[in-house]
């Protein structure tokens, strides 16, 4: 009764936030820690039940538009929201090219980074998601959008047009990415850090990306102690896949596209971020058959586009199941 009395004079937005915090306090999910650690011995791998909430870390109205969604994902025992930092977007406050935007360019978001620094919107949203009771996983680089011809809309690439995947993994780009990670360490690191897991680069596919991401992981582990407790993943596909054990403890989370790939995947984190058109039955199966580190679910209908934000449908969160692992 006291809670209802307090809420009586509150705005609908504040009531949603209070409901979310009450849900966290009463039904919080304990993150199960797997018996594996990185080679440094500093970062335990907690069991991950993740949703790829692609654009949430770069949405300037995040809390207002997603607080209700978060309550439902909490009920589904999703523990982690996984976001992409460098999504293609328009330059707000400046005139943009006439004509329709490409499908992958979201006009309602803001840049998450430039070549060397995180944006304030991105940092604030990561902190909001963490405060809402989720762990936060981020991919800071984004090759698929480059393959789709959208580099001119990407802040992390200085909006250079017509880049190819081969342009992403040069010595100059490596130094810029190291500077970006310096900023990550300064603003999201700590003991414990705000950031829980990080993907070194989203879907690197060319062979030179292997040396690039290995060098980046070496830099992070050897020079950025405030990120010691952040678990690092490689998400390479095709020529960008790593092979053999990694001395730095970087773990594997290659994108999976079908249930057949999912069931056979040898990767530590089963990652459905490439699974186009997953339905309720697929989500049930995927959430019940995780990898050793857990799973990542991706729902195409929940991804925003040039038409606006994706809308959460009940079947999406109601299809998530528990497994014997967590």
Instruction: Give residue 46's pLDDT.
Output: 83
Nearest to 233 by CA among 137, 132, 162: 137
Give the global pTM. Answer: 0.88
- Cβ count near 25 (within 10 Å): 9
- The backbone torsions φ and ψ at residue 14, rounded to the nearest 5 degrees and listed phi first, read -65, -35
Nearest to 254 by CA among 275, 239, 276, 237: 237
Mean pLDDT value across the chain: 88
Nearest to 56 by CA among 84, 34, 93: 84
| Dihedral Cα 266, 270, 275, 280, nearest 10 deg | 120
Does residue 42 register a pLDDT over 90?
A: no
> DSSP code of 112?
-
Does residue 16 register a pLDDT over 80?
A: no
Instruction: Specify the range with the lowest mean pLDDT, choosing from 38-42, 88-92, 318-322.
Output: 38-42
Instruction: Give residue 2's pLDDT.
Output: 34
Does residue 222 register a pLDDT over 50?
A: yes
CA distance 178 to 184: 10
Does residue 41 register a pLDDT over 60?
A: no
Tell me what the mean pLDDT of segment 194-221 comes to: 97
Instruction: Give residue 243's pLDDT.
Output: 76
DSSP 22-70: HHHHHHPPPPPEEEEE-TTS--EEE-EEEEE-TTGGG-TTHHHHHHHHH
Q: How far is CA 104 from CA 148, 202, 255, 323, in A?
A: 8, 15, 19, 34
CA distance 315 to 124: 30
DSSP 71-90: HHHHHTT--EEEEESS----
Nearest to 296 by CA among 130, 69, 51: 51
Instruction: Specify the range with the lowest mean pLDDT, choosing from 14-18, 178-182, 313-317.
Output: 14-18
CA distance 217 to 232: 8
Q: How large a percentage of the chain has pLDDT more than 90?
A: 75
Task: Check residues 261 and 14 and name the one with the higher pLDDT.
Answer: 261
CA distance 322 to 78: 10
- The backbone torsions φ and ψ at residue 238, rounded to the nearest 5 degrees and listed phi first, read 50, -120
Within a 13 Å sphere around the CA of 318, how many CA atoms are in the beta-carbon half?
4
């Amino acid at each position: 009764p006291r809670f209802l009395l307090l809420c009586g004079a509150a705005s609908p937005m504040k009531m949603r936030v209070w409901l979310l915090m009450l849900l966290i306090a009463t039904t919080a999910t304990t993150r199960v820690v797997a018996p594996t650690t990185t080679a440094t011995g500093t970062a335990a791998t907690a069991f991950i039940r993740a949703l790829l909430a692609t654009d949430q870390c770069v949405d300037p109205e995040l809390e207002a538009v997603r607080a209700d969604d978060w309550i439902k994902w909490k009920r589904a025992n999703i523990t982690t929201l996984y976001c992409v930092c460098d999504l293609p977007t328009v330059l707000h406050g400046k005139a943009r090219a006439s004509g329709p935007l490409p499908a992958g360019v979201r006009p309602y978001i803001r840049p998450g980074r430039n070549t060397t620094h995180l944006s304030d919107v991105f940092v604030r949203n990561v902190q909001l998601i963490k405060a809402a009771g989720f762990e936060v996983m981020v991919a800071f680089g984004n090759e698929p959008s480059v393959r789709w011809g959208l580099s001119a809309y990407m802040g992390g690439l200085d909006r250079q047009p017509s880049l190819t995947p081969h342009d992403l993994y040069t010595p100059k780009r490596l130094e810029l990415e190291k500077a970006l990670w310096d900023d990550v360490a300064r603003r999201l690191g700590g003991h414990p850090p705000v950031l829980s897991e990080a993907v070194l680069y989203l879907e690197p596919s060319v062979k030179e990306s292997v040396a690039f991401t290995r060098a980046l992981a070496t830099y992070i582990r050897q020079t950025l102690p405030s990120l010691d407790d952040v678990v690092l993943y490689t998400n390479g596909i095709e020529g960008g896949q790593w092979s053999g054990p990694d001395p730095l403890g970087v773990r594997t989370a290659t994108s999976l596209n079908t249930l057949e790939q999912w069931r056979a995947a040898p990767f530590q984190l089963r990652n459905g971020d490439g699974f186009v058109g997953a339905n309720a039955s697929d989500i049930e199966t995927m959430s019940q058959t995780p990898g050793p580190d857990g799973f990542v679910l991706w729902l195409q209908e929940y991804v925003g586009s040039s038409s606006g934000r994706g809308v959460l449908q009940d079947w999406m969160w109601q299809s998530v199941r528990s497994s014997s692992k967590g």
